[in-house]
Chains A and B, each alone.
Chain A
Amino acid sequence: MIVKELIQMRRDRMTFAIMFGLPILQMLLFGFVINSDPRHLPTAVLLADNGPEARTLLSGLKNSTYFDFVRLVGTEQEGRSLLTRGEVQFVVNIPQSFSHDLLRGDKPAILLEADATDPIATSGGAGALGNIIHSAFQADFVGPLGFLAPAAESIDIRVHSLYNPEANTAYNIVPGLMGVVLTMTMVMITALAITREYERGTMENLLSMPLRASEVLVGKITPYVIVGYVQVGIILCVSRFLFKVPIHGNLLLLLLAALFFIAANLALGITFSTVARNQLQAMQMAMFVILPSILLSGFMFPFRGMPWWAQILGEILPITHFLRIARGVMLKGIGFADIGRELWPIMLFAGITLIVAVKRYRQTLD
Chain B
Amino acid sequence: MVTENKLVVDVHRMTKRFGNRTVVNKIDLQVEEGEIFGFLGPNGSGKTTFIRMLCGLLRADEGNGTCLGHDVIKESEIIKEQVGYMTQKFSFYEDLSIAENLDFVGRIYGVRNRREAVQQSLERLGLKERQQQLAGSLSGGWKQRLALAACLIHQPKLLLLDEPTAGVDPKARRDFWEQIQELAGQGLTFLITTHYMDEAERCNRLAYIAYGNLLIRGAVDEVIAYTHLNSWAVSGPELQKLAHELREQPGVEQAVAFGNSLHVSGSDPRALEEAIAPYREGGYKWKQVPSGLEDAFIHLMDASKDSFPS
Contacts and interface: CB of A to CB of B under 8 A. Distances in A.
Interface string B289-308: 00000000000000000000
B55 interface: yes
A208 B90 contact: no
Interface in A155-208: 200-205, 207-208
A124 B292 CA distance: 91
A5 interface: no
Contacts of B56: 208, 364
Question: Is the contact region of chain A dominated by helix, strand, or loop, or is it mixed?
Answer: loop
- Using C-beta atoms within 8 Å of the partner chain, give the interface range for chain A: 10 to 19
Interface string B71-106: 000000100110101010111111000000000010
A25 to B, nearest CB: 34
A209 B80 contact: yes
Contacts of B87: 201, 204-205, 208
Contacts of B58: 364-366
Interface in B89-140: 89-94, 105, 108-109
A97 B122 CA distance: 90
Contacts of A202: 91-93
Nearest to A212: B77
A102 B85 CA distance: 89
Contact of A210 (B57, B90, B91, B108): B108
A210 B80 contact: yes
Contact of B85 (A200, A205, A364): A205
Interface residues of B, number: 21
A205 B143 CA distance: 14
A7 interface: no
Contact of B91 (A204, A211, A364, A366): A204
A202 B109 CA distance: 16
A218 to B, nearest CB: 13
A364 B59 contact: yes
A205 B59 contact: no
A209 B81 CA distance: 7
A203 B57 CA distance: 10
Given A364-B56, A364-B59, A365-B57, A201 B91 contact: yes
Nearest to B105: A209
Contacts of A366: 58-59
A118 B55 CA distance: 58
B92 A210 contact: no
Nearest to A208: B85
A364 B76 CA distance: 11
29 contacts: A200-B91, A200-B94, A201-B87, A201-B89, A201-B91, A202-B92, A202-B93, A204-B87, A204-B89, A204-B91, A205-B85, A205-B87, A205-B92, A208-B55, A208-B56, A208-B80, A208-B85, A208-B87, A209-B105, A209-B108, A209-B109, A210-B109, A211-B108, A364-B56, A364-B57, A364-B58, A365-B58, A366-B58, A366-B59
